[in-house]
Amino acid sequence: MNVTLVHSAVQPHVPMSIAAAEPVLRVRNLEVTYYTDSGRAKALDNVSFSLKAGEKLGMVGESGSGKSTLALAMMRMIKPPGRIEGGQVLVGDTDLMALDQEGMRKARLSRIAYIPQGAMNSLNPVMRIGAQMIDAVRSHLPDEPKPAVEARCKRALQSVDLDAGVFRMYAHELSGGMKQRVCIAIGILLDPDVIIADEPTSALDVVTQRQVMETIDNVQKAINAAVILIGHDMGLMAQFVDRVAVMYAGRLVEMSSVREMFTDPKHPYSRALIRSLPSLDNKGVFQGIPGLAPSLLRLPTGCAFHPRCDSAMPECSTARPEAQILPGGRSVTCHLFDGEA
């Protein structure tokens, strides 16, 4: 199957300097399983990573690789037949997986915020934008005076380059890009430590995509939050993130700096993704990834990518690879690098 990931080739973003500090987010051995009539599908398989304050991580992979499931699991928004089977999501010293329902409700927006994939379907069409924002603040700060709440909401709108007059408008009066920026404004109302943006530029034109990404970049710098950007567009990733994580069949197969990912990808799947990018040197030539992503209900034995891999070895079909931490700190889950940790 051919996989289109970008609309244009771009130069990799140079990672910004992140001060040496304790991670603000630590995900440890997170597992999610869907129990269906056809069997048990493991959508997240032992996923672990960490992020520091002010750092931006791009999460990429084909549809069905587990990117959005990861976001929903971190927010504890997995619905039946899905189930979070294990793992930890630590924001600071707080394990979100150990909180009760009320504790998790309070942690959403204040500690960890989620910018949903479809802004068109995320806003209540019969409530003014301001009323929806006030509801979000009131659920966490019930004693804050009304003038202070309104001022907070209008500041959030202005921080994402929207006029304060949007506060009185309905969702149908806004363009797609404006709706997406409203969702960003709601996400930063309480200055969360972690922001998860799930394909925030889907269904937007190229110019609006750029504006939305710049908005996320600006608000992230203003509140020094850690950001997870989920998407398919490697071009946008190259320009806006510091590190890139590649997912395949529910597993994290590679994580490295954005420059390393674009100049020297290690995992064969990562290399295939980078090769599929358009290039000025090969105009009109498109190179996709052969085969299809496997069904989570019927994963191949050994490495899930081995039927599509151009570097497969005999052990790839029988032994499941484990993550290796290579010199420099990048992580690769592949038999090619066994013993190089």
Tell me how many domains the chain contains. 1
Q: How many residues does the chain have?
A: 341
Cα separation, 324 vs 333, whole angstroms: 6
Give domain status of residue 65, yes or no.
Answer: yes
CA–CA distance, 269 with 254 (Å, rounded to integer): 9
**pTM, rounded to two decimals:** 0.89
Task: Using a pLDDT cut of 90, give the percent of the chain over it.
Answer: 72
Is residue 63, in this structure, part of any structural domain at all? yes
In a domain, 10, yes or no: no
Give residue-wise pLDDT tens across range 176-218: 889 999 999 999 999 999 999 998 887 788 888 888 889 999 9
Q: State which residues form the domain around 47.
A: 25-263
Pairing of the two strands 226-230 and 194-198: parallel
Query: Is 186 within the bounds of a domain?
Result: yes
Residue 114, in any domain of the structure: yes
The residue ranking higher by pLDDT, 242 or 339, is: 242
pLDDT digits (tens, 9 = 90+) for 229-280: 998 878 788 889 999 999 999 999 999 999 999 999 999 999 999 888 777 6
What is the Rg, in whole angstroms, of the alpha carbon atoms belonging to the chain? 20
Domain assignment of residue 117, yes or no: yes
* Cα torsion angle, 72, 78, 82, 85, sign: positive
CATH number at residue 255: 3.40.50.300
Task: Give the torsion sign (CA, 183, 185, 190, 193).
Answer: positive
What are the pLDDT digits (tens) for 83-135?
A: 999 999 999 999 999 999 999 999 999 999 999 877 767 899 999 999 999 99
In sequence order, the 6+-apart residues with CB closer than 8 A to the CB of 331 are 49, 252, 254, 255, 256, 323, 324, 325
User: Given this model, what pLDDT does residue 2 score?
Assistant: 38
Average pLDDT, the chain: 89
Is residue 197 domain-resident?
Answer: yes
pLDDT in tens, 61-73: 988 899 999 999 9
Distance CA 274, CA 255 (A): 14
Most confident of the following: 73-87, 114-128, 317-331: 73-87
14 inside domain: no
Q: Are 65 and 308 in contact (CB under 8 A)?
A: no
82-91/25-36 β-pairing: antiparallel
